[in-house]
Structure formats: structure tokens, C-alpha cells
């Protein structure tokens, strides 16, 4: 006979579906989509890029099947506790890649839709790749890797010694290790390691396909009616790994930097990485006290009238054809 715990576990998905249906019935249902990049890439280990043609098709599908909200409209519902329109949607992007301006913006403009872009301010105009992209460049696509390498930080995990150039599987493992390790460091400690590795691994030039926006690009970008801007920390660190002062300087620092650059109030925020483990009650309190209207998480689900304003869910979008896009969104629609 199954135990009560087994039974509870087996029923969990059904209970979740029922709860979601009840929330949608009472509070409306808004799907907040989470994108990062719109571009064709040769390699994409983090699966962040959607091709321009597929993004175009996804927007066409959204326009035909959902009520796509602007950032102002979304905040109005979330702040007032009014019921969200049935099958509404909000388009969001994280990080601030240059392709958001060069490729995604014109497609949004053509569809007369708006995206809300959360920007990691420390990367704007810094002429370097986002740190996870740098790790890819240094370890996975670097043609200058030495046969032997010794690095006295990171407890020797990055040392190797072969009689041939390192093989791809081996470097993928080290890349995975470094992603997990650097993710919980402060932005400063992480950047110090990257500065050393750039020189030691002979790969210091950022790839033109992987650059964040420059300051001029961000200003031009932000002047489009298809663009709303939010903050996303300075250095894209894990907030829950920082103490309160560290969190405050990353959160408020990005708000102030973007306000100075764009000469407008920045009232929206998204937690880097954003799963429940990467921000905490302190992050939420700082965001609320800083005067943000909302803070976006990266857990899956619909937004309804009672969703937490400082940790609402989003649905991450991959490089899906319109049919697959529809299949993935179906569970969130009524």
C-alpha cells in the first residue's frame, strides 16, 4: 500500500494544476516571458539565444493569442491587485546584450510590441563579455589552450597536464565547475579571476557577437517606444551569497547607474539567475525599500492578482519554433 507521503507526492502535479486554474480564474493569468538574446550563434552552451526568425514567429503567435501588456500596464495590475486580463503576456529580457538593440528591438517595433529589458549596468560600455560567456571563450572555444596549465587559485581544480591539447569533454567539465564556482563569488572576486585567466589562457579579446550594449547603444535603445528598462545588479552576481551591504550596493548601484545614464527613474528589477536559491528576503526588502515597483524571479508559473510583487514567476523561452512555443505556453493559458 502506498504511504501517505507517496500519495501526497503522486498528487502534487494535479494539486499544482488545480491551484493554477483557481488562481487564473480569480486573479487572471499573465505569462511573463523571459528572453536573453535574439541572434544566430555557432555555440550556445547556456541556451540563451533565440534565432531572429523564430523570435519574429513567436511574437506573431503572441499577438494573435495573447494580450501583450506594456511594462506600465503590467505594473498597474500587479500594484493595484486588479485581476490580470485573461491570457495576457509581458515580454522581458535579461542582461543587456547588444543584439537586444540591433536585432530584437526592430522586430518588436515591427510588431508594435514592447519588451522590458533588465540590464546588468556594470557591463554596459565595458567592452567585455558577460562572465559566463567569457568562461565559454576561455575554455570551450579557445584555440590557444596550453597542454599544461597550473593555476594556484580554485584549489587546483583548473590544473591540467597532457601530452596533447585538452579535449572538449574535459574542458566542458572544467567550464561547468567554473560556472558553479564563479556564480557565488562577489563581482569583484570573480572579475579578478577572469582578468588573470584572460592573460594566462591567451584569450583577451571579447567576441563581437557576445558584447553587451555600449552606453550610446543603450541610450538609443531606451528611446524606442518598444523598450522599457529595468535593473539587474551591477555585476550579475548571486545576491543570496552576499551580505546585506553587498546586496544593497549591487541592487541600488545598478539602479543609480542606469538612472544617471538614461536620465529617468528606473523602477523595475530582476534578480540575476533568479531561482528561489539566488535571492532571499533581504534582497526582496532592499528592492521594496529602494522604490522598485516590482522584482522578477526566474521560477516558472503564471502571474495573477495575488502574485508576490517582489518575486513573481517568469517562463523562460528557448529557441523554439512557433508550434513548440505554443505547446510550451499552453499549460499557462486558459
Binding status of residue 278 toward Zn ion by CB under 5 A = no
Q: Which stretch binds Zn ion (CB under 5 A): 137-145, 149-157, 179-187, 271-279?
A: 271-279
Grid coordinates representing 308? 508576490
State the number of binding residues for Zn ion (CB under 5 A): 3
Q: How far is the CB of 122 from Zn ion (least distance, A)?
A: 12
The correct pick among 23, 56, 75, 94 for binding Zn ion (CB under 5 A) is 94
Binding status of residue 217 toward Zn ion by CB under 5 A = no
Q: Which stretch binds Zn ion (CB under 5 A): 101-109, 164-172, 237-245, 265-273?
A: 265-273
- 230: Cβ–Cβ under 8 A, 6 or more apart, which residues? 71, 116, 117, 118, 119, 266, 267, 268, 269, 270, 296
Q: Which stretch binds Zn ion (CB under 5 A): 89-97, 168-176, 215-223, 304-312?
A: 89-97
Distance CA 313, CA 275 (A): 9
Tell me whether residue 225 is exposed, middle or buried, using C-beta atoms within 10 angstroms of its C-beta: 0 to 12, 13 to 18, 19 or more.
exposed
Distance CA 200, CA 217 (A): 31
Binding status of residue 95 toward Zn ion by CB under 5 A = yes
Per DSSP bridges, beta strands 88-95 and 67-68 are: parallel
Cα–Cα nearest to 145, from 170, 176, 182, 127:
170
State whether the Cα torsion 123-124-125-130 is positive or negative: positive
Binding status of residue 133 toward Zn ion by CB under 5 A = no
Binding status of residue 75 toward Zn ion by CB under 5 A = no
User: Of 120 and 197, which has the nearer Cβ to Zn ion?
Assistant: 120
Q: Which stretch binds Zn ion (CB under 5 A): 156-164, 244-252, 267-275, 310-318?
A: 267-275
Question: Which residues lie near Zn ion (CB under 5 A)?
Answer: 94-95, 272
Amino acid at each position: 500500500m502506498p504511504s501517505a507521503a507517496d500519495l501526497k507526492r503522486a498528487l502534487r502535479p494535479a494539486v499544482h494544476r488545480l491551484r493554477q486554474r483557481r488562481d487564473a480564474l480569480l486573479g487572471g493569468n499573465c505569462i511573463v516571458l523571459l528572453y536573453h538574446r535574439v541572434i544566430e550563434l555557432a555555440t550556445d552552451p547556456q541556451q540563451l539565444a533565440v534565432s531572429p526568425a523564430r523570435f519574429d514567429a513567436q511574437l506573431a503567435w503572441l499577438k494573435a493569442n495573447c494580450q501583450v501588456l506594456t511594462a506600465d500596464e503590467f505594473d498597474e495590475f500587479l500594484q493595484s491587485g486588479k485581476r490580470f486580463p485573461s491570457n495576457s503576456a509581458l515580454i522581458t529580457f535579461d542582461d543587456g546584450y547588444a543584439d537586444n538593440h540591433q536585432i530584437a528591438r526592430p522586430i518588436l517595433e515591427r510588431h508594435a510590441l514592447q519588451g522590458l529589458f533588465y540590464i546588468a549596468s556594470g557591463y554596459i560600455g565595458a567592452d567585455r563579455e558577460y562572465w559566463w560567456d567569457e568562461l565559454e571563450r576561455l575554455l570551450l572555444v579557445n584555440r590557444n589552450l596550453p597542454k599544461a596549465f597550473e593555476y594556484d587559485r580554485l584549489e587546483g581544480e583548473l590544473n591540467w597536464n597532457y601530452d596533447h591539447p585538452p579535449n572538449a569533454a574535459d574542458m566542458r567539465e572544467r567550464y561547468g565547475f567554473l560556472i558553479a564556482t564563479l556564480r557565488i563569488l562577489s563581482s569583484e572576486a570573480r572579475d579578478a579571476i577572469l582578468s588573470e585567466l584572460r592573460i594566462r589562457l591567451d584569450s583577451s579579446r571579447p567576441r563581437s557577437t557576445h558584447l553587451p550594449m555600449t552606453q550610446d547603444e543603450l541610450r538609443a535603445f531606451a528611446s524606442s517606444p518598444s523598450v522599457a528598462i529595468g535593473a539587474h545588479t551591477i555585476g550579475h552576481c548571486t545576491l543570496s551569497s552576499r551580505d546585506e551591504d553587498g546586496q544593497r550596493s549591487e541592487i541600488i548601484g545598478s539602479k543609480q547607474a542606469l538612472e544617471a545614464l538614461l536620465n529617468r527613474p528606473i523602477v523595475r528589477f530582476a534578480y540575476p539567475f533568479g531561482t528561489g536559491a539566488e535571492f532571499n528576503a533581504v534582497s526582496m526588502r532592499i528592492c521594496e525599500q529602494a522604490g522598485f515597483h516590482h522584482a522578477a524571479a526566474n521560477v516558472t508559473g503564471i502571474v495573477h492578482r495575488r502574485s508576490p510583487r517582489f518575486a513573481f514567476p517568469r517562463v523562460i523561452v528557448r529557441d523554439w519554433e512557433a508550434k513548440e512555443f505554443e505547446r510550451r505556453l499552453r499549460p499557462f493559458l486558459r
